[in-house]
Structure 1
Amino acid sequence: MKMPLLLLHGAIGAPVQLQTIADILEDKYAVYTPPFPGHGGVAMPDEPFSIPFFAKFIADYIVQYSLAPVTIAGYSMGGYVAMYLARHQPHLVKRVVTLGTKFYWDAAVAQKETALLQPDTLLAKVPAFAATLEKMHAPNDWKQVLARTADMLQAMGQHNPLQEEDYAEITVPVTVMRGDRDKMVTMEETLAVYQRLSNARLAIVPGTPHAIELAPEDLLAALISLA
């Protein structure tokens, strides 16, 4: 029987972005790619977007499909959700792999990131990306996905769901991966989290920016498999 593996997408994303990686890993794992509520066409929840809310959704998903303990590989926000789950419900998690996860949040960082989530700006500067978001989240309004995500990031800027001391309490094995061309996630914050974890490995992925669509999918799949 194949080992289960959860692949978690990032903020304003959807499982389709991880499908090639999932296909590569299916020879070794039983791969699950759940969309977060409100993403990828899944119904918009009544609750605001938040890391604890998304973590609870994934915890319920793990229990529903009897996957525990499960390996979770998360891109960007998906990695943060995986780490939050490992911190608060470690019995559900076998190991964690993160890629391009931004761990450090304060008001200034949140303001900078939410400025990139303005629909009018995206329509004017990167209309093709706006069209992709519209298609990816239909029948939901992609602009609502952006607005709810911006609210979540602002809340994280006021209170980071994972504080520095939380990482020392995570006992499951963790592989922290950062692309060498990632302009959103700093090397400093990645190293700071890696150094606080008690059972961790660090991987710097060559030729890799933050955008998962531009990442070397074969290499990422291999690193997930080896982690």
Structure 2
Amino acid sequence: MTTTWTAEQHGNGSYAEVNGINLYYETHGEGRPLILLHGGLGSGEMFGPIIGQFAEGHQVILIDLQGHGRTADIDRPLDIKFMADDVAALIDHLGLEKPDVVGYSLGGGVALLLAIRHPQKVGRLVSASAGIRRSATYPEILEQQGQVGPEAAEFMKETPMYELYSRVAPRPEDFPRLLGKIGKAMAVDFDYTEEVRNLQVPTLIMAADADMCPPSHFVEVFELLDGGLRDGGWMGEGRPKGGHALAILPGLTHYNLFTSPLFATAALEFVDKPE
């Protein structure tokens, strides 16, 4: 099986030794910096079908997170807090001035934690398909996640995730290890309600209308950000005080949102909005 994720035009790939990890990143286009963070068991290549939209007016930096894509794993749990710190260190390494950050699924969680832990390093934030509380995920999905472990590697050999990993990973034989670490990470309870309530970075909460969590969860997150509590007003005076926004994208699921032109359009509309 070959994925259809890869971009027709390859970016410039490099490695950076930051925060104790040799992090792979790839740049596309020119303009104001925008960091794109991929989903679990993927890599920056996941955005291949829509990278052109993002790169049309931005210098896009695709990062392969810990243990994913071309970034080898290290002796550390897969934890979005650590991965957020990796991204913050790369921002410093590259000398970027408050880049906008767009993340999907695992990357959406990393992006959110980046804004929570390092708000001074982020311009605008888009967190897509990333619940802020484990219990918000549908029970049947939590049950499926509970079955992810090293022993699942054989069953995943016909998936796009394995095809990508086996093609680009520094150590393709580490795929069972990655599944084991992801399985452990998904079993850990989390709730970022209070952290989100105090978020200082202008944030777009985005989801598919048939995502891993119900649309009501993302509406709840928007409410934590002062959204959906009153009429917006003729001049927008009733919109959330922090510049936050909500987008529920129609006709999509958790598994195709990241290749949809709607995803890129909504994200760019938000990050490119004049101050």
Give me the TM-score of the superposition, normalised by structure 2: 0.72
Q: In structure 2, what is the Cα distance between the partners aligned to 1:106 and 1:179?
A: 18
Q: Is the 8 A contact 1:2 1:29 kept in 2?
A: yes
Which of 197, 218, 226 in structure 1 is aligned with 2:261? 218
Structure 2: give runs of 5+ residues left out of the alignment. Answer: 1-29, 227-241, 271-275
CA RMSD for the aligned pairs? 2.5
Which of 253, 256, 262 in structure 2 is aligned with 1:209? 253
Give me the TM-score of the superposition, normalised by structure 1: 0.86
SS at match of 1:94: coil
Greater RCO, CA 8 A, separation 6+: 1
- Matching residue of 1:56: 85
Give the length in aligned residue pairs.
221
Q: In structure 1, what is the Cα distance between the partners aligned to 2:67 and 2:85?
A: 14
Q: Which deviations, in whole Å up to 9, do the C-alpha atoms of 1:150-177 show, x marking residues without a partner?
A: 111223x1xx2x5211112112111111
Q: How many angstroms does 1:129 deviate by?
A: 4.2
Q: What residue identity is the alignment partner of 1:95?
A: R
Q: In structure 2, what is the Cα distance between the partners aligned to 1:210 and 1:98?
A: 13
- Matching residue of 2:52: 23
> Runs (4+) of structure 1 moved beyond 3 Å?
106-111, 118-126, 128-131
Q: Output aligned runs, 1:30-49, within 5 Å.
A: 30-49=59-78
Structure 1: give runs of 5+ residues left out of the alignment. Answer: none
Q: What residue identity is the alignment partner of 1:188?
A: S
**In terms of Rg, which structure is larger?**
2
Q: What residue identity is the alignment partner of 1:78?
A: G
- Matching residue of 1:197: 225
Q: What residue identity is the alignment partner of 1:102?
A: G
Q: In structure 2, what is the Cα distance between the partners aligned to 1:206 and 1:136?
A: 33
Q: How many angstroms does 1:10 deviate by?
A: 1.2
Structure 1 residue 12 corresponds to structure 2 residue 45: no
Query: Could you say which structure has the higher strand fraction?
Result: 2
Give the direction of change, closer, same or farther, for the CA distance of 1:57–1:90 in structure 2 (3 Å limit): same
Q: How many angstroms does 1:190 deviate by?
A: 1.1
